[in-house]
Amino acid sequence: MLEHFNMIYSLAVSMTSHYPSQSMLKIKTEDITISKIIENYRSGLWSIPESLSDYEWKKRKSKAATFIANLYQGRPVSSIMIWESPEAINSDRESEAQKHVARVLDGQQKIMTLCKVIDGASDVKILFNPRVTDGNRGSEGQIRVESTITKKSEGWVDVGKVLGSKEDFCSVLRNEESDEHWVRFLQMREILNREISVVKYLEHDYVSIAKAFELWKMKKKGAWISV
């Protein structure tokens, strides 16, 4: 057993020696509001690489609903990771303007969920009901993925209309007479001012950041290797 452990440990050391350590990486952490994150992505300041651009949560809509619920309930939300490079990315598939923007390395599902929900996309429809208490989380108001059950029940409102334009939000409030429910809708809209931690990797070339990201993915999956 000890020999087997030593063999695995030696392999781990040899693997991690090819990766930059955390001390070699220039990292900046900043808390950014949801509204600003959406703005950065929509304006093109942040770009999601083509290899990471698939919207995986359309097959796991409950994850999108849980993400929105965590924001609404003030629960912890994992960080977004981006890479800000001072150099252009050498890629024939991207325009000159796109080569200089920050790349989203992790958190793209969160960003795409927010945009899709606000845009009313058909592949992920998240609803909010201020009249129902979420007994599992002890919060007032319930968030669910659209289903046959919600279609047959009263009080369910598209979250996109609550988080969208002021006109859409006002139309939601006009259809609600209860002051208590108004407060819950206002709490839902306050999501836009909720801050998420954004980890920025700065001034690194493509090879270094690719190796760092590969190691980070290994650690995220529960690998015991540490550098």
Spatial distance between the Cα atoms of 89 and 99, rounded to a whole number of angstroms? 5
Spatial distance between the Cα atoms of 1 and 151, rounded to a whole number of angstroms? 58
In the Cβ-directed half-sphere of 201, how many Cα atoms lie within 13 Å? 26
Please provide the average confidence, as pLDDT, over all residues in the chain: 78
Spatial distance between the Cα atoms of 75 and 66, rounded to a whole number of angstroms? 10
pLDDT score, position 222 = 52
pLDDT score, position 83 = 85
* 133 or 172, greater pLDDT: 172
pLDDT at residue 127 is higher than 50: yes
DSSP H or E stretch at residue 163: helix 159-163
CB count, 10 Å around CB of 122? 9
pLDDT score, position 64 = 95
Spatial distance between the Cα atoms of 162 and 34, rounded to a whole number of angstroms? 14
pLDDT in tens, 159-209: 999 999 999 999 999 988 888 899 999 999 999 999 999 998 876 666 666
pLDDT in tens, 147-164: 998 888 888 999 999 999
pLDDT score, position 13 = 41
Spatial distance between the Cα atoms of 36 and 176, rounded to a whole number of angstroms? 29
DSSP one-letter code for 199 = E
Can you tell me which residue has the tokens 């007032």? 140
* Confidence bin at 224 (pLDDT 50/70/90): very low
Average pLDDT over residues 11-32: 61
pLDDT score, position 209 = 62
Burial of 41 (0-12, 13-18, 19+ CB in 10 A): buried
* 158 or 84, greater pLDDT: 158
Spatial distance between the Cα atoms of 185 and 159, rounded to a whole number of angstroms? 9
Residue-by-residue DSSP string for 153-218: SSS-EEHHHHHS-HHHHHHHHHT---HHHHHHHHHHHGGGG-EEEEEEEES--HHHHHHHHHHHHH
The pTM of this model reads 0.75
